[in-house]
Structure 1
Amino acid sequence: MLDLTRLLSLSALLLGSVSTASAQQDPADPFSILSPQAEIQLTTPDINPVERPHTGVHTFRDAYLEARGNRGNIVTETLWSVERRTLSGELISTETRRLDFGDGFVRDRQADSDQIYDFATDRVLTLHAETVSSEPIAASAHRQMDVFTRFTRGGELEEIAGPGGVSFERFWIEAATGIRAAAVELVRQEAEDGTIEVRRTPDGSAIFATTPGRRGDNTYYDQLSRWMRHTLPIHPDAVDAVGNMGQLPDSFSFLVFSPSSPDGRRETWTLTESRGTLADFPWPATHTAASAGEYALTNDTIARLVSRGLGAAHRPEVTPTTENFIYASQSLMQAGDLPGAYLTLMQGTQHEGECLPNTSGELCSAMTRVIIAGLGNAQFQEIANAIANRASDPAALIEALRSYIGRRDYAGAAANLMTAQASARLSETYSASEVLEAFAAAAEIDPAVPLLYWHAGRYAVSQNDIETAWLLFDLACALPSATSETPRRETGALVERLRNISPRFFAAAQ
């Protein structure tokens, strides 16, 4: 007869640990995107949360246009002459830039890049020959925040050393990144002809100047200023000092000090053409959503991971069901493979959420049956104990799972995912390639697990691969399993943090 006290205590211990990832992230977790960061003050009052349509790296054209909703089809096509000169007036370079302004978007047409900054969905789309890639604006804001934090120690340094021994005031790093530690006092002056100049001191050079437009045929200045935030090194407080002029300016100029221009340069944009036309949102009907190979991913393992996630997001009907996991677990139990049966049901919790004591549901009931059957089984006890103690001893978990990671069933998926998470915590022992390979191996077996991409993204952040991280976050939020609630909630929290710190990367609050 079983020892009932022992059974209940062991069941509580194991059921309290069967989920490998679905609980709320620990703020002290070094791999958490919500871990404490240097305190940075808000740049503008424009911080109210804004509900955006849910789109992602997986979204095809029709679904993307549906998410944008019914919007106007008037587009203003503009042509700009751009000059760069030294501070003594010597010409450095010239070019022509074409920008199209539509309802909620700015299209930046360049010879080597055709990008749409879509503030209606907070995405940046890149048009390729036959496809469109899509990245969240939050990734750009996150990258700039990371650069600012690293170079200025969270806004503490007043002088930042550049290459070749050149140093720069923090102001110019703030201009380059669009992130600033505290409000900067600037002087705004308006000339008789309407030109607005912003200076750091009354007698200093204009760091930003703009001549209001004469045409009065558009209202796109706010979108222009938000596009500037992504592409031009103008200090956010200088843009705010000008205010919203409504119409596009006839010209604007700004001062730059950077590693490429240590002695300074002035860049001037002059509007040479502007005409309105009727046009649809510029995602061509002939273009589909890009594959993983068309993103700038850092290595082939990440490309495999993203590719599997895209496949799962595009085919939600292949997501495993409760019955799939229970049937697979029962088959393993009948074959005497209790550890495999246990790991299989743990993989099920990656889709349905963790089993806790007194939790009802078919999957959790099946988990209890495996635990009862496993009492006294040495192999089962080894796996169960290693999982129960994984937070305090990740190395032991990796060792216990070593003989299971080669399996190509659900038990192998669970073993690889837990190995990936444990090895990520032991970064001094395991290389990034080893960690990512474990994530990819788990995705190749069961690609529809939201928390797999969520944790892989968190690891990518720890490796400073922020752009990849946000593609993985996209996938985590897109997959239909119940556990996608965790990445959706925490990604939303991070987006709002980024909006608060750097609002002009995003659409205006409404």
Structure 2
Amino acid sequence: MRNLFRASLAVIAVLTAVSTVEGHAAPLIGPQASAAEIRAAHGDPGPAYRIAYEKTIDGVSSPMEVTLAPGYVAIKSEDQQTVLDFKLRRAIDIVPEKRSFANWSLFWHVSFRVHEAMNRTHMRKTLRAMNSDLARQIDPYYVGAELGVPLPDEPNPAIEKTRGPDGTLGFVYDGVEVVSVTPSTVRLPGSLRQRFVQYMRYRLQVHPDIADALAELEFVPQTISYVYMPNSALPESRHVTLELKSTGDAKADYPLPADYKPEPLTLTHSDELTPVRDLLPVMLQATAGTYGSGPRTTASYKSAIDAAMREKKILQALTLALELSLQRGDQLETCDPADSSCHTFPEIIEAARKDERATALMTSLQLDATDPAAATAMREGIDRKDISNAYLIDAFLANGLIAQDKRKEEALRLLQGAIRGNPYASNFYQDIGDYYVRSFDHNIAWLFYDFGRSLPERNQAGNNVLAGVDRMEASLALSFPGFF
């Protein structure tokens, strides 16, 4: 069903556009951070508590270990080791055999769940309108359990809570006991109960209403048993049981060794991400300020604009002025009257009105909202061979193609070229991040958002291009506090 849902997607929720919440800042730690920087930013991890389980899925068992601490949850299984860092709001995937790790934003996890829930709701409504039996495969309980967030615009599923004589909590939906939790005699430290429930939200397929109810846990669960439907594909239910094996205090040390090497795409092996891997060295150098000769200065832009104006290369002057605004937030609003080499943006625009190619670019930008197809055709017709920063026009072209859901691979290549052209312009990171959100690859989207927010001088002259992502994260944290 997942392929059906994605192929039939009719509503793309560009989440950055709906958030108006203020007060959230860019991440303290970006994907380029070293292990030592992460450890220092997290600080003293405090006392930790280890819980070992045997996890059985449809009769196949494997060991797993959960370590709870005031600021994080560490999860270790046979094939994966992850730290959910709630202080830094990062998810750190560790590969001990390579002594490497990748650190991702926690927000991509939640953004994807919300986006997919909106998608499932749309599909459910569409199928019901068609009187299709497939609508029952998008059951509000099982989708909510799979994603960890409720379906929007749907009533809460009717879940009955039971309590056995031994303290076992049962949760029944539609006549089926979907979750059962039996307590042990080991008291769960009060300060860490929230962390245990957060572990369940991220890793166990239980409905968020049940996760909320389990916040009252006083004892470490002896068993946790639940039923879920992979991708809501009824009736192929799966049964999962966690059986407690041991508990105890854990080593009071942050789980990421200081000498492990950051590899931002560790554990992400898709061949589709090869272009992203190719961009990584460029982005890593840019965040360090070492790509080329560093971020281009306003003085350098002004000098190049002056040369272009004197040589009557108006399109070049216009694209340089636009790029200066994108990178540094400098709108060239005023000039010193004594400085004849300075040109204001209104002056450049006035000159552009008398230049055919510059006029075509400006007109295409005005057409974006009303006639994206015409805007795209106009940009494609602009001769840009003599423009030093033609990648800027390419980025505008790519965004027009993406808005029309056309020539996606070409659009992605154009945006990658824009980052190579100027890896210090955070707009390009926003654009390519939005591209990946539309493709449901939220983890890669946040990789670009976070690189863009890690650039030097990102907020120069108030040019906080990715402030919309900051606000969206604040909105997610406010709306789904259980994940943070």
Q: More deviation in 143-152 or 118-127?
A: 143-152
Q: Structure 1 length as normaliser, TM-score?
A: 0.77
Q: Secondary structure at the match of 1:282?
A: coil
How has the CA–CA distance of structure 1 residues 426 and 191 changed in structure 2, closer, same or farther, with 3 Å as cutoff? closer
2:247 to 264, 274, 291: 274
How has the CA–CA distance of structure 1 residues 331 and 238 changed in structure 2, closer, same or farther, with 3 Å as cutoff? same
- Residue 348 of structure 1 and its aligned partner are, at CA, apart by 0.6
Would you say the 8 A contact 1:158–1:170 is kept in 2? Answer: no
In angstroms, what is the RMSD of aligned CA positions? 3.7
Q: Which amino acid aligns with 1:481?
A: R
Would you say the 8 A contact 1:347–1:414 is kept in 2? Answer: yes
2:104 aligned with 1:135? yes
Aligned to 2:45: 71
Paired with 1:262 and 1:460, the residues of 2 have a C-alpha distance of 32
Q: More deviation in 105-114 or 290-299?
A: 290-299
2:445 aligned with 1:474? no
- Residue 454 of structure 1 and its aligned partner are, at CA, apart by 0.7
How has the CA–CA distance of structure 1 residues 56 and 238 changed in structure 2, closer, same or farther, with 3 Å as cutoff? same
2:220 aligned with 1:248? yes
How has the CA–CA distance of structure 1 residues 361 and 475 changed in structure 2, closer, same or farther, with 3 Å as cutoff? farther
2:185 aligned with 1:214? yes
Would you say the 8 A contact 1:83–1:93 is kept in 2? Answer: yes
Aligned to 1:180: 150
Aligned to 1:107: 74
Would you say the 8 A contact 1:105–1:116 is kept in 2? Answer: yes
Q: Which amino acid aligns with 2:77?
A: Q
1:314 to 263, 288, 291: 288
Paired with 2:63 and 2:259, the residues of 1 have a C-alpha distance of 28
- Residue 470 of structure 1 and its aligned partner are, at CA, apart by 1.7
Q: Which amino acid aligns with 1:209?
A: S
Q: Secondary structure at the match of 1:183?
A: coil
2:201 aligned with 1:225? no
2:305 aligned with 1:329? yes
Q: Which amino acid aligns with 1:103?
A: P
2:33 aligned with 1:33? no
2:115 aligned with 1:146? yes
How has the CA–CA distance of structure 1 residues 193 and 49 changed in structure 2, closer, same or farther, with 3 Å as cutoff? farther
Would you say the 8 A contact 1:292–1:306 is kept in 2? Answer: no
Paired with 1:186 and 1:396, the residues of 2 have a C-alpha distance of 52
How has the CA–CA distance of structure 1 residues 84 and 131 changed in structure 2, closer, same or farther, with 3 Å as cutoff? closer
How has the CA–CA distance of structure 1 residues 391 and 231 changed in structure 2, closer, same or farther, with 3 Å as cutoff? same
Would you say the 8 A contact 2:221–2:244 is kept in 1? Answer: yes
Q: Which amino acid aligns with 2:110?
A: A
Aligned to 1:415: 393
Q: Which amino acid aligns with 1:286?
A: D
Q: Secondary structure at the match of 2:156?
A: coil
Paired with 1:376 and 1:58, the residues of 2 have a C-alpha distance of 45
How has the CA–CA distance of structure 1 residues 293 and 344 changed in structure 2, closer, same or farther, with 3 Å as cutoff? farther
Paired with 1:383 and 1:263, the residues of 2 have a C-alpha distance of 54
Q: Which amino acid aligns with 1:225?
A: V
Paired with 1:78 and 1:162, the residues of 2 have a C-alpha distance of 43
Paired with 1:154 and 1:194, the residues of 2 have a C-alpha distance of 39
Aligned to 2:3: none
Paired with 1:364 and 1:264, the residues of 2 have a C-alpha distance of 69
Would you say the 8 A contact 1:78–1:99 is kept in 2? Answer: yes
Paired with 2:366 and 2:347, the residues of 1 have a C-alpha distance of 17
Paired with 1:500 and 1:154, the residues of 2 have a C-alpha distance of 26
Q: Secondary structure at the match of 1:234?
A: coil
How has the CA–CA distance of structure 1 residues 404 and 185 changed in structure 2, closer, same or farther, with 3 Å as cutoff? same
Paired with 1:157 and 1:381, the residues of 2 have a C-alpha distance of 44
How has the CA–CA distance of structure 1 residues 125 and 450 changed in structure 2, closer, same or farther, with 3 Å as cutoff? same
- Residue 158 of structure 1 and its aligned partner are, at CA, apart by 10
Paired with 1:68 and 1:311, the residues of 2 have a C-alpha distance of 24
Aligned to 1:495: 473
Alignment of 1:46-65 (within 5 A): 54-65=28-39
Segments of structure 1 that go 5 or more residues without pairing to the other structure are 1-28, 38-46, 86-91
Segments of structure 2 that go 5 or more residues without pairing to the other structure are 1-10
How has the CA–CA distance of structure 1 residues 315 and 131 changed in structure 2, closer, same or farther, with 3 Å as cutoff? farther
| Count of matched residue positions in the alignment of Structure 1 and Structure 2 | 454
Q: More deviation in 228-237 or 414-423?
A: 414-423
Q: Which amino acid aligns with 2:148?
A: G
2:97 aligned with 1:126? no
Percent identity between the aligned chains? 17
Q: CA offsets per residue over residues 42-80 of structure 1, 9 Å max, x none?
A: xxxxx99887953222223333233324431x3323321
- Residue 478 of structure 1 and its aligned partner are, at CA, apart by 2.1
Q: Structure 2 length as normaliser, TM-score?
A: 0.81
Q: Which amino acid aligns with 2:181?
A: T
Would you say the 8 A contact 1:387–1:397 is kept in 2? Answer: no
Q: More deviation in 359-368 or 253-262?
A: 359-368
How has the CA–CA distance of structure 1 residues 450 and 199 changed in structure 2, closer, same or farther, with 3 Å as cutoff? same
- Residue 287 of structure 1 and its aligned partner are, at CA, apart by 1.3
Q: Secondary structure at the match of 1:193?
A: coil
Q: Secondary structure at the match of 1:281?
A: coil
Aligned to 1:170: 140
Q: Secondary structure at the match of 2:235?
A: strand
Q: Secondary structure at the match of 2:199?
A: helix
Would you say the 8 A contact 1:31–1:458 is kept in 2? Answer: no
Paired with 2:398 and 2:25, the residues of 1 have a C-alpha distance of 33
Q: Which amino acid aligns with 1:492?
A: D
